[in-house]
Structure 1
Amino acid sequence: MGQQESVIKLVELIKHQDAQALIEFYQQSNSNDNIAQLKYLYQQAQSDQALYLFFQDLVSTLFEKKPIPEPLIAGINDIDKLTFFTPALSACEGFDQQNEQGNTVLHALLGRLHPAPPPFNYIRSLMLFERNESLAKALASKNNQQLMPMECYLAFNPCFDTLPAHELTAALALLEAQVKQQASQASTLMLICKHLKKSADFSKLNGNNHRILLLGAAFECANEEVLTLLN
């Protein structure tokens, strides 16, 4: 059965409201089919807000029966996808699940090569109010490059524009939560600075930039020390 056929079959089972058959079919489908099915459910939720919660709850049920498909981890890389999949990831404690590159959903979200700041405040809210143990663990998970999610943000996110105050506060809180579990290594700061020097907007990284402040907080060093490494 191809991916398109697996989605058509899934739709039929949803229409027949046969929950048990739907779960069994999803469990028996391979990883690529599961990704196609989940992509369909996400797209349907986005296109019809009246059914958003229905599809969101359905995905939560599916994740409880079968873990998130590994290749999908890197695909949950913006606020819309994260918001949709949050209840499912919470239900299966899936935030700290890693893919072949050792990345969690947080690595994918925070290290995204997109000129926009990540949703720090949303992630912090999840940690404060949802009691997500796997989310806290994910913050301190190292990928194959030996980088934690916030370190991926510091190294790779190309947006150096000033963060709104609430987002900066949330970013600092996430760094604090990470450091409590696992402190950043000094050698990692040098690696991050090497990556930042390759950025097209490197000239924006002066002493007043919030990225310098966050690097200082992450590695518990003075801003001058960070600037020296960048120069």
Structure 2
Amino acid sequence: MDACINQLNQQMQQHQLPAIVDSFVRLSDTQQTLQLLHLYESAQRMSVKYAYLQNIATRILTQYSLPTAMINQLNNIDQLSFFTPGLKFNHGFTQQNQQQKNVLHSLFSESDNTKLPFNYVRSLMLFESNENLLQALAQINNVGLTPVASYIASNPSQHSLPKHEFSALLALMEVELKQNKGSINTAAFLKALLTLSHSITGLLSEDKILLCGAYLRCKTAQVERYLVQNK
């Protein structure tokens, strides 16, 4: 076990919360990520300590920025839920890594149909009034994609979305368009979509095409024609 995890475990056993927070800044980016993931994984194993462990993570992220290595690790809704109280501080949602990805980019591009994140993220915006979260939806990564665009054009999932998740995704599209004043990087989106199309067997699903049309605000026939012409 990494020394930084042993240190964290000892500090928790002795209820040294101030020491945990104070020593965090002296760790490397990788070690900080290991500690935060250890808190999350421990909370998953020990539900009775969930609130206590989440509070530690929140206290850390209240004082310090999210380590950049952590951004790629936040790829499921359970993780996002655990870290959400802490991400509200220090511009946690809009912090970007070397690929200019924020946590929503990672979450959306890697999510599967077992635990989709869109309704949860929409609820956060509706009830938490988090300006930083709104800004994160409009951010682009190093290939010009927003988090919503990353899900549609990069996520290989071809399954139909449940109605409530589909509605939530459409609502997030509208939020993004409002933040970006209707501007879409169409070229970047189509390039990513073409790459996705080439990586799978057969054609993209009707649901995927429908989402593409909704995002680009065009007819699905135009999307299908583009893919056929460039297959």
Structure 1 and Structure 2 fold alike (TM over 0.5): yes
Match of 2:117 among 104, 116, 119: 119
Q: Is the 8 A contact 1:111 1:153 kept in 2?
A: yes
What per-residue deviation string (whole Å, max 9, x for no partner) do you get for residues 66-108 of structure 1? 1111011010001121111111112333011000111000111
Residue 161 of structure 1: SS of its match in structure 2?
Answer: coil
Query: In 2, distance between residues paired with 1:66 and 1:211?
Result: 39
Q: Is the 8 A contact 2:197 2:204 kept in 1?
A: no
Q: Is the 8 A contact 2:145 2:185 kept in 1?
A: no
Q: Is the 8 A contact 1:116 1:159 kept in 2?
A: no
Q: Is the 8 A contact 1:41 1:55 kept in 2?
A: yes
Query: In 2, distance between residues paired with 1:198 and 1:114?
Result: 20
Q: Which residue of 2 aligns with 1:35?
A: 33
Residues 204 and 80 of structure 1, relative CA distance in 2, 3 Å threshold = same
1:138 aligns with 2:126: no
Match of 1:215 among 204, 212, 215: 212
Q: Which residue of 2 aligns with 1:74?
A: 72
Q: Bigger shift: 63-72 or 177-186?
A: 177-186
- The aligned amino acid for 1:218 is Y
Q: Which residue of 1 aligns with 2:100?
A: 102
Sequence identity percentage: 34
Q: Is the 8 A contact 1:76 1:109 kept in 2?
A: yes
Q: Is the 8 A contact 2:75 2:111 kept in 1?
A: no
Residue 167 of structure 1: SS of its match in structure 2?
Answer: helix
Residues 112 and 86 of structure 1, relative CA distance in 2, 3 Å threshold = same
Q: Is the 8 A contact 1:196 1:202 kept in 2?
A: no
Q: Which residue of 1 aligns with 2:43?
A: 45
Query: In 1, distance between residues paired with 2:221 and 2:200?
Result: 22
Q: Bigger shift: 114-123 or 221-230?
A: 114-123
Residue 148 of structure 2: SS of its match in structure 1?
Answer: helix
Q: Which residue of 1 aligns with 2:185?
A: 185
What per-residue deviation string (whole Å, max 9, x for no partner) do you get for residues 10-62 of structure 1? 22222222232221111222222212211211111000100001111110100
What per-residue deviation string (whole Å, max 9, x for no partner) do you get for residues 89-146 of structure 1? 1233301100011100011111127576742111111111111212111111111111
Residues 26 and 173 of structure 1, relative CA distance in 2, 3 Å threshold = same
1:225 aligns with 2:198: no
Match of 2:81 among 68, 83, 93: 83
Tell me by how many angstroms 1:223 deviates. Answer: 1.6
Residue 225 of structure 1: SS of its match in structure 2?
Answer: helix
Residues 139 and 130 of structure 1, relative CA distance in 2, 3 Å threshold = same
Residue segments in structure 1 that go unaligned for 5+ positions in a row? none
Runs of 4+ in 1 over 4 A off after TM superposition: 113-117
